[in-house]
Amino acid sequence: MARYWGKVLTAMVTPFDVDARVNLDMACRLARRLADTGSDALVLAATTGEAPTLSDDERFELIRAVSEAVTIPVLAGTGSNDTRHALALTARAEAAGAAGVFLVAPYYNRPPQAGIEAHFRALAAATQLPVMLYDVPGRTGRRIAHEVLLRLFREIDNIVAFKDATGDPAAAARLVAEAGDHFELYSGDDALTLPLLAVGAVGVVGTSTHWTGLEFAEMIAAFEQGDVTRARAVNAALQPSFAFSNTDDSVFSMSVKAMLRSQGLAVGECRLPLPPAPAGVEQRAAQVWQDLQAWRARQR
């Protein structure tokens, strides 16, 4: 059972207008749509939300506006590879209306494990909010060690969840076996959600959930009810969405925004260094969406 934020969390894109300014009205509209289509909570100002290109003021204006627009929880992405900066961001999250804090491991400077542990301990101490840690070594360049995670989960009361984007279900299974009473595991890779449910995950922090939230909710519910055959069938139907979400020429934020634009939502393009989506991406998005809609119709 997910104790804090539910089972389907969406790492929401940050809408921009034609001048690349944050579009708060569209952000609120998108957030309400996600709440109505399967998302139990939202993660704002994280990687998919193009956090590296947001100013601090933009980040908290976004969190405040969306928190006021929806009744589901909003987690604030306040991670940084500068601990002092992350401390300042984390301390502001509660006042902005966040229901939790989302902290990625320090990136680029590749600290040793002692530095990673000290970083997370300092940030957790800076807030009364529950904290979700995020390990994505493909982006950060350094994986969080198993023993570090065990200590953090066991010793710090408000570190309560873990988004696992390591691509290592065996390690996730070991972590749940040794510290499962102290934290909740979320899949950080949409395509690995079903395998991670099998080793103890409670849900997903997703990107394709911008348009597949209902399917993820169904898949997770089916698995929890013991209907593995149905869970597999839903997972199979989601494969085209997984493949579309991240390619060599269109990464997550770009692909999600292309999908939303193809559905009539003016979320804008990404900010550099993410370029405009290449020609054909919106057409591929429309086909993925059409095929998913057809699958839904066949289930009725």
Q: Is residue 18 part of a domain?
A: yes
Residue 204, annotated ligand binder? Answer: no
Number of domains comprising the chain: 1
- pLDDT of 274: 97
Preceding omega of 273 cis (within 30 degrees of 0): yes
167: in domain: yes
Judge whether 213 lies within some domain: yes
Length of the chain: 300
CATH at 60: 3.20.20.70
Instruction: Give the other-Cβ count within 10 Å of 178's Cβ.
Output: 15
Is 232 part of any domain? yes
Q: Which domain holds residue 151?
A: 8-236
Nearest to 149 by CA among 123, 175, 177: 175
For the chain, the helix, strand and coil percentages under 3-state DSSP, each to the nearest 5: 50, 15, 35
Residue 205 known to bind ligand: yes
- Residue 300: its pLDDT value, please? 81
Q: What is the Rg, in whole angstroms, of the alpha carbon atoms belonging to the chain?
A: 18
Residue 27 lies in a domain: yes
pTM > 0.85? yes
Tell me the C-alpha distance between 187 and 208, whole Å.
13
The answer to the question of residue 207 being in a domain is yes
Residue 56 lies in a domain: yes
CB of 105 within 8 A of CB of 135?
yes
The Cα 234–Cα 218 span in angstroms is 8
pLDDT score recorded for residue 107: 95
User: Which residues are identified as catalytic?
Assistant: 134, 163
> What distance lies between CA 228 and its chain's CA centroid?
24
pLDDT at site 1 = 59
**Tens-digit pLDDT string for the chain (300 aa):** 568 899 999 999 999 999 999 999 999 999 999 999 999 999 999 999 999 999 999 999 999 999 999 999 999 999 999 999 999 999 999 999 999 999 999 999 999 999 999 999 999 999 999 999 999 999 999 999 999 999 999 999 999 999 999 999 999 999 999 999 999 999 999 999 999 999 999 999 999 999 999 999 999 999 999 999 999 999 999 999 999 999 999 999 999 999 999 999 999 999 999 999 999 999 999 999 999 999 999 998
Structure token pair of residue 164: 């696992």
Instruction: Return d(Cα 35, Cα 214) in angstroms, integer.
Output: 10
Q: Does residue 106 sit in helix, strand or coil?
A: coil
Asked if residue 251 belongs to a domain, the reply is no
Give the pLDDT of residue 125.
97
Rounded Cα gap, residues 13 and 209, in angstroms: 11
